[in-house]
Structure 1
Amino acid sequence: MKKYIPGLLLLLVISIIAIFIAGFLPEYVGSVFIAILIGILINNTVNLNKAIFGPGISLGLKKILKIAIVLLGGTISLQKLATVGVRGLFVILVIIGLAFILTFILGRILNISLKKKILIAAGLSICGNTAIVTTAPLIEAEDRDIFTAVSIVTLFGVLAVFVYPFMGMAAGISDTVFGAWAGTAINDTSQVVAAGFIFSEEAGRIAAMIKLARNVLMAPVILIVGYFYGKRQKEKKGKINILEIFPAFILGFLFLIILNSLGIITENMEPVFDQTSQFLILLALAGIGLEVKFKDLKKVGVKPFIVGFSVAISMAAVSILISGTIF
């Protein structure tokens, strides 16, 4: 157990610093992105002793992240889907499908790896960084794949917070339409809420409601991704094990969703699950930066960003067209 302490303490310190810095920045920037950047800075300026810090960092990336994902299930309930109605659910499903289809088409054209395509699509279509880190262990994503997807989602989301309200006001669209647009086309929850309330209080409430329903769909989307990716990988070996396709942490995640949907997890308990899971995610992702070298970032190139931004712009265009028609 002692061998894990130095690495875990380093992750804890980075997380606390990231939270502190994030307190001086707009909420939509996010402490996760800051923690990853701090980790990268440390890894490229300080000669870390991997024998000392490595075990704890690895524990954060492999074990703590999975615990965070399980706890995240305690914040999701099927009842939240009912709050947006049929029209809202229709727009959400169209946008999720569009994001995956376009990401895979453009990714194939630009020769982007399968893991990057899955993470980019998950992050853009569902709930930003949370969807990325939940999907990553399922597909055994590499650290630089996660960093790339998180960077794309964060950068686009920050731009959207400023650009979308301005475009909405210039176009003279209603609060309802803007709320539906922001709730379906922007990625991270804090970014959605920020853009919505910049436009108007009513738009902010609608955007938040639609975004929460969109977050619920993370469960079925991840199940589908896990099934097809796991089946594809195991078929290569000629053997399929259901626990390899759906690992224990995903089953735990689904179990807590069921408990929450049945009302066993009360509304008072949800914030505890939410805050604990978000902090553990931050702790784990601080380790991503500690595994990334600048030379690795050069290998990433601009292609994933071209794919991500093209998909995000397409999502925005389709979302506003549908939202403006049916709301």
Structure 2
Amino acid sequence: MQISLSPRRVTSALPLLLPGLALAAAIALVARSAASASEVGWLSPMILAVLLGMGLNRALGAPAWAQPGLALAMRPLLRLGVMLLGLQLSLAQLGALGLSGLLVVALCLAATFVFTLAFGRLLGVDPALTELIAAGTSICGASAVVAANTVTRAREEDVAYAISIVTLFGTVAMLVFPMLQRVIELSPAGYGLWIGASVHEVAQVVAAGFQGGSDAGEFATISKLARVMLLAPVVLVLGRLALRRRGAGSDTPVPAVPWFVAGFIALMLVNSLVAIPEQAAQATRAATSFLLTAALAAVGMQTDLAKLVSRGGRPLLLGFAAFLFIGTLALGLAAIAV
């Protein structure tokens, strides 16, 4: 179901949209409260929102009265949230990483993305699901999965599966990599670069990075933000792949530059050139997080667990292989570069 963001159409459809939007917002609020109350610092509200939505769908089903609002949350509002991520990034962060660090991050991302696509094809995993796993592993976990799906347009079950996989192996990396550091003994900068270039979620990077000390944690965070900045070009590549897969005769072509990608880049440049007041920046970060969390709540509400299980074990094997690939490659390059 496609929903236009035209003000006139949204206003006229508001009575139909409000119930579903309220449901997604309620799930998002519960997820945020649960994440805040949890002592597990890396537990993301977005991940909890997907799980809560899937649980409600399993218990009660997706009510018809909520469908228009859920569709709005899953598509236009999700794109808006991705666009607003640009205000959390700046070119100065890239400069702080240095040329060698940037090369490591870019090489790990590109190589992991290509490897995951190729191995997914070899395993016979659905191309759209493969692309979601590739984006989530190589860039920034759940946020990258939902951003990639704006152009791949995979099934809700595939989105939930991809988020589950990248969350699982990102958590494994967060727990295991700090233990390996005790044996490998990289420098703080090398350890931070390894973590930032390989661990999936931003929260997981912070949790693992600061286990190596404050210097390692800061370098890991900067490295991770550099990966997030590459979200826009990866979405453009996925858009081209999706357009090719649908064929030239498709009646729903992917635009050359989706509006939210252009907005993401523009806002990143604004944040690089203009000093945004801290109060406004905090409000924007909160709004962005809530939009993405509500969108993922809607994804969960539209996900059938039976269909999710029917995807089988091959996507899980793909996620595991991608996790091993990026972790090993990032470790080798970080040891050389720093």
TM-score range, shorter chain: over 0.9
> What is the aligned length?
324
Task: Deviation per CA, 1:65-124: give whole Å up to 9, x if none.
Answer: 122122222222233211111110111111011111210121011111221121111111
Find the partner of 1:42 among 17, 38, 56: 56
1:131 corresponding residue in structure 2? 144
Find the partner of 1:207 among 220, 232, 247: 220
2:101 corresponding residue in structure 1? 88
- Indicate how the Cα distance of structure 1 residues 217 and 266 shifts in structure 2: closer, same or farther if over 3 A, else same: farther
2:168 corresponding residue in structure 1? 155
1:319 corresponding residue in structure 2? 330
- Indicate how the Cα distance of structure 1 residues 22 and 236 shifts in structure 2: closer, same or farther if over 3 A, else same: same
2:308 corresponding residue in structure 1? 297
- 1:230 deviates by 5.0
The answer to whether the 8 A contact 1:29-1:158 is kept is no
2:11 corresponding residue in structure 1? none
What is the rounded CA distance, in whole Å, between the counterparts of 2:317 and 2:43 in structure 1? 21
- In structure 2, give the amino acid aligned to 1:64: L
What is the rounded CA distance, in whole Å, between the counterparts of 1:302 and 1:17 in structure 2? 31
- Indicate how the Cα distance of structure 1 residues 117 and 260 shifts in structure 2: closer, same or farther if over 3 A, else same: same
- In structure 2, give the amino acid aligned to 1:271: Q
2:267 corresponding residue in structure 1? 256
- Indicate how the Cα distance of structure 1 residues 106 and 254 shifts in structure 2: closer, same or farther if over 3 A, else same: same
RMSD of aligned alpha carbons: 2.0
The answer to whether the 8 A contact 1:119-1:146 is kept is yes
Find the partner of 1:220 among 233, 241, 247: 233
What is the rounded CA distance, in whole Å, between the counterparts of 2:24 and 2:332 in structure 1? 44
Higher mean C-alpha deviation, range 277-286 or range 12-21: 12-21
Find the partner of 1:103 among 116, 123, 141: 116
- 1:126 deviates by 1.2
What is the rounded CA distance, in whole Å, between the counterparts of 1:157 and 1:261 in structure 2? 29
1:270 corresponding residue in structure 2? 281
- Indicate how the Cα distance of structure 1 residues 315 and 257 shifts in structure 2: closer, same or farther if over 3 A, else same: same
What is the rounded CA distance, in whole Å, between the counterparts of 2:78 and 2:194 in structure 1? 31
What is the rounded CA distance, in whole Å, between the counterparts of 2:112 and 2:61 in structure 1? 40
- In structure 1, give the amino acid aligned to 2:43: V
Q: Which runs of 4+ in 1 moved over 6 A?
A: 238-241
What is the rounded CA distance, in whole Å, between the counterparts of 2:270 and 2:277 in structure 1? 9
Q: Does 1:33 align with 2:47?
A: yes
Task: Provide structure 1 residue ranges, at least 5 long, that are not aligned to the other structure.
Answer: none
Task: Provide structure 2 residue ranges, at least 5 long, that are not aligned to the other structure.
Answer: 1-13
What is the rounded CA distance, in whole Å, between the counterparts of 2:136 and 2:117 in structure 1? 14
Report SS of the residue matched to 2:310: helix
Report SS of the residue matched to 1:132: helix
- Indicate how the Cα distance of structure 1 residues 81 and 20 shifts in structure 2: closer, same or farther if over 3 A, else same: same
What is the rounded CA distance, in whole Å, between the counterparts of 2:255 and 2:246 in structure 1? 8
Higher mean C-alpha deviation, range 274-283 or range 243-252: 243-252
Report SS of the residue matched to 1:84: helix
**Percent identity of equivalent pairs:** 31
Report SS of the residue matched to 1:292: coil
The answer to whether the 8 A contact 1:196-1:204 is kept is yes
Find the partner of 1:246 among 218, 242, 257: 257
- 1:265 deviates by 4.7
- Indicate how the Cα distance of structure 1 residues 244 and 173 shifts in structure 2: closer, same or farther if over 3 A, else same: closer
Report SS of the residue matched to 1:300: coil
- Indicate how the Cα distance of structure 1 residues 164 and 122 shifts in structure 2: closer, same or farther if over 3 A, else same: same
